[in-house]
Amino acid sequence: MLRESPGMGGSGPQIDGAEAMSVLEWWLESGVDVLVDERPRNWLQEKQKPSQQPVSEPESARQDQTRMPDTLPLFREWLASASAGAKSKSKPVLPQGEEGAEVMLIAEAPGREEAAAGAPIAGEAAALMERMLAAIGWNLTQAYLANLSCFYSPGAKPTAKDLEDCAKAARSHIALAKPKRLLLLGDAPARALLGKSLAEARGHLHRVEGIRTIVTFHPRFLLDRPSDKARAWKDLLLLMDDDA
């Protein structure tokens, strides 16, 4: 657990030995064995918003959000109901976290492991995601976790209409959750919310519902392709760099 500790020019998070080793393991796995930025970085410092106009979203991605619940608790109840588009043999996997989180993670649809655990990201992927967040000074309690579709449907592949419906619901979800930053994990969230593939969207700053947004790999993918962890690390740095 992160604890407030004085020193080094102000208060900030302090982690115990086990947590420090976990963060170090992520850095080493990512190939970060040297400094990646010559300037010191205070992750907790609030910076003024840049004066330039925010990066625009594709007009085609904007959806009519009428008829959606107007509070986060009601929206989560709606997600759990059949009205959210559940199909036969589907199992709901509901979001976790609090309104106003430091970062909201929107992952691809849950798999068998997530459905069994009842969590948006589960198993080894969740452990890796926790190390990724710790590497930039956060823990899971500071994040809001959700899936693009909150239902596990065995063997189902999202159609263009499914992505459109998911995007409409996700935009309402983001607006109600009010996160400070948004991290899209995987190809489907990128296509639904930005109209771009993962490869096209990575490495660039985006805005979704006015929220600073970055796209990176789902941790499940990184478990199979550890060589891409260095690229994911660069994405996390871009998420945190308010001067970008």
Cα Rg of the chain (Å, integer): 18
Most confident of 5-9, 13-17, 61-65, 150-154: 150-154
Calculate the CA 44 to chain-centre distance: 18
What's residue 92's pLDDT? 84
Tens-digit pLDDT profile for residues 30-80: 666 544 555 556 655 655 555 455 444 444 334 334 467 899 999 998 888
What's residue 2's pLDDT? 43
Q: Give the residue with greater pLDDT, 199 vs 150.
A: 199
Share of the chain above pLDDT 90, in %: 54
Two structure tokens written together for 30: 């990512």
* Residue 126 half-sphere exposure toward CB, CA atoms < 13 A: 17
Cα–Cα distance, 243 to 198 (Å, whole number)? 23
pLDDT beyond 50 at 1 = no
What's residue 37's pLDDT? 53
What's residue 11's pLDDT? 47
What's residue 17's pLDDT? 62
Closest residue by Cα to residue 230 from 243, 217, 211? 217
Calculate the CA 22 to chain-centre distance: 20
What's residue 160's pLDDT? 85
Instruction: Provide the strand spans (E) within 142-237.
Output: 143-147, 151-152, 181-185, 206-208, 211-216
Give kind and range of the element (H or E) at residue 28.
Answer: helix 17-29
- For 82, which DSSP code? G
Cα–Cα distance, 74 to 68 (Å, whole number)? 9
3-class state of residue 182 by DSSP: strand
CA dist list (Å): 71 to 93, 176, 186: 19, 6, 27
Closest residue by Cα to residue 132 from 13, 231, 10, 11? 231
- Tokens 């959606």 belong to residue: 68
Tens-digit pLDDT profile for residues 95-113: 999 999 999 999 999 999 9
What's residue 223's pLDDT? 96
Mean pLDDT value across residues 173-178: 97
- Tokens 């690229």 belong to residue: 231
Closest residue by Cα to residue 201 from 219, 182, 220? 182
Q: Domains, the chain, ranges and CATH?
A: 60-240 (3.40.470.10)
Cα–Cα distance, 212 to 142 (Å, whole number)? 16
